[in-house]
Amino acid sequence: MNTNTPVREEMVTTAFEIPGYRVTANHGVVRGIVVRSRSIFGSIGAGLQTLVGGNITLWSRLCEQTRTDAFALMLTHAAERGANAVIGARYDATEVGTGVTEVLAYGTAVTVEKV
């Protein structure tokens, strides 16, 4: 079943159940993978921010955008599988090269219904 209806963000949880719902079908593991690199300008700007200390906002924004993109891809993958929820959602990140990082959002795509 391919509904292509996006899974709503409120139907995603790191837990293995959603209160008030029961799982009626398991569609398997779904994932969203994004590989990003830092630009030379971003690296220079972030390097300057390290001189004064505190939050390195350039890299924080890059990380947050990358996680958001990976999350959206995971939801799309879940919808393609016919799911309306994702349980056990997690993130992982791996440096695949100098300045190049893979961010993975993954979880179990399920169909749930209100109890």
The reported pLDDT for the residue numbered 53 is 56
Distances in whole angstroms, Cα of residue 114 to Cα of each of 7, 36, 86 = 15, 38, 15
In a domain, 98, yes or no: yes
Count of domains in the chain? 1
The reported pLDDT for the residue numbered 24 is 98
What mean pLDDT is predicted for residues 88-106?
Answer: 89
User: In sequence order, what are the residues at sequence separation of 6 or more whose Cβ sits closer than 8 angstroms to the Cβ of residue 105?
Assistant: 31, 32, 67, 70, 71, 73, 74, 89, 90, 91
In a domain, 102, yes or no: yes
In a domain, 3, yes or no: no
The reported pLDDT for the residue numbered 62 is 79
In a domain, 4, yes or no: no
User: Are the beta carbons of 102 and 35 closer than 8 angstroms?
Assistant: yes
Question: Domain span at residue 75?
Answer: 9-114
Residue 48: helix, strand or coil by DSSP?
helix
- 60, β-bridge pairs: none
In a domain, 100, yes or no: yes
pLDDT of residue 42 exceeding 60, the answer is no
Sorting pLDDT into bands at 50, 70 and 90, what band is 1? very low
In a domain, 19, yes or no: yes
Rg, the chain, Cα only: 17
Check which CATH number belongs to the domain holding 33 and give it.
3.30.110.70
For 59-87, the pLDDT digits (tens) are: 678 788 999 999 999 999 999 999 999 99
